[in-house]
Amino acid sequence: MEFIEFLINGVRLGSVYALIALGYTMVYGIAKMLNFAHGDVIMVGAFVVYTTCNTLGLPPVVGIVVAVVLCTLLGILIEKIAYKPLRGATSNLAVLITAIGVSYFLQNAALLIFGAAPKNFTSIVPYEGIQIAGGQITIDGETIVIIAVSIVIMIALTVFIKKTKAGQAMLAVSEDKGAAQLMGINVNGTISLTFAIGSALAAVAGMLFCSVYPGLSSTTGSMPGIKAFTAAVFGGIGSIPGAFIGGILLGVIENLSKAYISTQLSDAIVFSILIIVLLVKPTGLLGKNIQEKV
């Protein structure tokens, strides 16, 4: 019984990671860049919901819509200002460093705007939990919603990329930018769209993350961001189902090692398992094996 509780909590944590990792992996898969600022967009999303719902007292639905719209715009803006100029730079690392700069910027801007005092986020999930196994185990509403949302988003993303024209364009851009351009695909537009979707996902992830774990401050996004990045790599970066599975697994492993081994060393254990998995399967669980040509 105890084990099941730990497992459920692990899945809940894992779903949060999965949700963030989906945004990460999508941007990585298409734009071929590690967007270190992704975690901070999550924080911005949560703050927007907090401001509209807690401070202004508007209903959660309004908060959700405003947050998604604002984060989408923010994502496009960041891409235009900070990342686009570096497209075609001689090293991929250049844009990685700019992403770090953006991450610092967002954190410090949030610190100045919202103050240093941590906020307590009020859950936007209106549902009560359910009880199973004769009332011995409670699964709260947030857990159910977050698991459902991450599954829906995973499926929606997969369908979007496979079935729509824009999705196909993304695939083409990720394979070969030059060829895609020659085929008449608007590469810049496609990448902007990727960032827009990624940031909208980050907003959703932010509000759900804070609904489950209510502490909100300017650094809220950074640790989940890095964990989600780990999850994305774990599952095979660029792969959407991989990000989902990687996230869930990471959450479960983290929670179980906290429960049965050590609460202090859980990070060390999670990361050790990650290293071992990557040694056995160097491209992650669902990653593509790319043959190197001479």
**Tokens 């050590």 belong to which residue?**
262
Which among 64-72, 186-194, 200-208, 273-281 is the span making contact with another protein, rule CB under 8 A? 273-281
Q: From CA 96, how far away is CA 82, in angstroms rounded? A: 10
Q: From CA 214, how far away is CA 231, in angstroms rounded? A: 22
Out of 13, 41, 48, 203, name the contact with another protein by CB under 8 A.
13
Half-sphere CA count of 236, side-chain side, radius 13 A = 16
Q: Does 50 bind another protein (CB under 8 A)?
A: yes
Out of 5, 7, 181, 187, name the contact with another protein by CB under 8 A.
5
Six-digit token string for 173: 């851009």
Residue 139 backbone dihedrals phi, psi, to 5 degrees: -110, 120
Q: Does 258 bind another protein (CB under 8 A)?
A: yes
Q: Does 128 bind another protein (CB under 8 A)?
A: no
Could you tell me which residues come within 8 angstroms of residue 268 by beta carbon, excluding any fewer than 6 positions away? none
* Residue with Cβ nearer another protein (93 or 183): 93
* Residue with Cβ nearer another protein (91 or 165): 91
Which among 1-9, 158-166, 176-184, 199-207 is the span making contact with another protein, rule CB under 8 A? 1-9
Out of 19, 35, 48, 140, name the contact with another protein by CB under 8 A.
140
CB contact at 8 A, 203 and 41: yes
Which among 119-127, 151-159, 160-168, 169-177 is the span making contact with another protein, rule CB under 8 A? 119-127
